């Protein structure tokens, strides 16, 4: 059953900014990864999915209901972590928790205590005004509030940003547990390990458009492998690359030096090795193509990510 659905969503802010004809769905009990660098359109899509903005074109649905018109009706069934944490001024951490419980119309003190203990938010911290909290404390408070009513659906926009590595790992383990409980999860992230560890299906977004959507296990068990070959000179590397490109499944990732990076399907590996036998090779290694390898095919022309990808 479709729980989350985005249909042909377009919001054009001009100058190439926004999202353009974005479509995907997340079925009940599925974890869907939305992968892309900062500024690719992930947060814009999620704000529309949450009903905070009206689409320029297209539609967004949760539980089969258009979200912009039904925001208040679906709030208590959704746990949402925004990409940028902006907490109300003048409130303590406890004040914010009680305010959100009132909006959600659910008070589950047992679940709240579990979340506070898990993410180590103590009473002293929660008695502080939110403006005095560190970024990590604010992020943990946002995580607690998103999960404290034990919602059916989790919509998580860069959820571990600002958390230390220990808390990041704890969060990933918690998401795995929620997945086992049958929760439906949309995880928007630029962190490969986070997406790879939790998601059933993954969509890659670039410049506001989805450029690939695939089942995570198909990539993990694909016959395509990633190879690194080091030649003794650049001329041999270039000559082998020119010949190898004629094989149907060979994809050259980097042939700019005596170190050659490429992917080859299992069906063509014997042909590639036959070609390679004519050259002196310093080093030869292979591994399965990773999520990062696959992602970088779409972004390899972009030089500066501004630290967006990890």
Residue 177 burial (C-beta neighbours within 10 Å; 0-12, 13-18, 19+) = exposed
pLDDT digits (tens, 9 = 90+) for 97-155: 999 999 888 999 999 999 999 999 999 999 999 999 999 999 999 999 999 999 999 99
Domains of the chain by residue range? 2-219, 223-288
Strands 184-189 and 153-157 come out as parallel
What is the 8-class DSSP label of residue 300? T
What is the 8-class DSSP label of residue 290? P
Structure tokens at 141: 């408070």
> Which is more confidently placed, 219 or 267?
267
Structure tokens at 4: 């989350």
Edge-first strand order for the sheet with 31-35 is 78-81, 153-157, 184-189, 31-35, 201-206, 209-215
How far, in Å, CA of 132 to CA of 70, rounded? 34
Which of 3.40.50.300, 3.50.50.100, 3.30.70.1050, 1.10.30.50 is the CATH number of 2-219?
A: 3.40.50.300
- Judged against a pLDDT cut of 50, whether residue 207 lies above it is answered with yes
pLDDT digits (tens, 9 = 90+) for 267-287: 999 999 999 999 999 999 987
In which residue are the tokens 């059916």 written?
A: 152
121 and 112 Cβ atoms separated by less than 8 Å: no
Helix (H) or strand (E) holding 229: strand 224-231
What's residue 308's pLDDT? 40
Q: For residue 224, what pLDDT band results from cuts at 50, 70 and 90?
A: confident
What's residue 301's pLDDT? 57
Averaged confidence pLDDT in the chain: 92
Structure tokens at 292: 């990062």
The C-alpha R_g of the chain, in whole angstroms, comes to 23
Task: Name the pTM for this structure.
Answer: 0.82
Structure tokens at 303: 């030089």
Structure tokens at 308: 């967006």
What residues are paired with 186 via a beta bridge?
A: 32, 155
pLDDT digits (tens, 9 = 90+) for 2-12: 999 999 999 99
Which of 3.40.109.10, 3.30.2130.10, 3.40.50.300, 1.20.1630.10 is the CATH number of 223-288?
A: 3.30.2130.10
How far, in Å, CA of 112 to CA of 126, rounded? 13
Q: How far is CA 269 from CA 199, 250, 288, 297, in A?
A: 30, 9, 13, 20
> Which is more confidently placed, 175 or 219?
175
What's residue 41's pLDDT? 96
Q: How far is CA 205 from CA 161, 212, 296, in A?
A: 19, 7, 12
What's residue 257's pLDDT? 87
Q: What burial letters (b/e) apply to 258-273, b meaning 16+ CB within 10 Å?
A: bebbbbbbeebbebbe
Strands 57-62 and 65-66 come out as antiparallel
- Judged against a pLDDT cut of 80, whether residue 196 lies above it is answered with yes
pLDDT digits (tens, 9 = 90+) for 55-107: 999 999 999 999 999 988 888 899 999 999 989 989 999 999 999 999 888 99
- Judged against a pLDDT cut of 90, whether residue 247 lies above it is answered with yes
């Amino acid at each position: 059953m479709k729980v989350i659905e985005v249909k042909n969503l377009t919001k054009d802010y001009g100058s190439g900014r926004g999202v353009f004809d974005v479509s995907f769905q997340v079925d009940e009990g599925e974890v869907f990864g939305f992968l892309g660098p900062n500024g690719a359109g992930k947060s814009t899509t999620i704000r529309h999915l949450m009903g905070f903005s009206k689409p320029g074109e297209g539609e967004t649905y949760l539980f089969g209901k258009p979200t912009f018109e039904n925001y208040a009706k679906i709030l208590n069934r959704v746990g949402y972590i925004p990409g940028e944490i902006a907490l109300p001024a003048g409130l303590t951490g406890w004040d914010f928790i009680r305010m959100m419980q009132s909006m959600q119309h659910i008070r589950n003190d047992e679940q709240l205590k579990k979340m506070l203990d898990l993410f180590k938010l103590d009473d002293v911290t929660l008695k502080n005004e939110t403006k005095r909290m560190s970024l990590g404390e604010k992020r943990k408070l946002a995580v607690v509030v998103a999960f404290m009513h034990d919602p059916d659906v989790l919509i998580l926009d860069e959820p571990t940003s600002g958390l230390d590595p220990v808390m990041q790992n704890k969060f990933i383990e918690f998401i795995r547990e929620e997945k086992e409980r049958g929760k439906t999860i949309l995880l928007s992230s630029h962190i490969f390990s986070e997406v790879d560890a939790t998601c059933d299906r993954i969509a890659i977004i670039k410049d506001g458009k989805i450029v690939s959507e695939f089942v995570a296990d198909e990539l993990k068990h694909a016959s395509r492998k990633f190879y690194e070959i080091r030649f003794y000179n650049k001329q041999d590397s270039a000559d082998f690359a020119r010949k190898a490109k004629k094989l149907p499944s060979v994809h050259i990732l980097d042939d700019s030096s005596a170190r050659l990076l490429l992917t080859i399907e299992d069906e063509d590996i014997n042909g590639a090795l036959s070609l390679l036998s004519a050259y002196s090779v310093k080093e030869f290694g292979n591994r399965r193509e990773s999520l990062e390898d696959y992602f970088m095919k779409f972004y390899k022309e972009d030089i500066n990510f501004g630290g967006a990808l990890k």
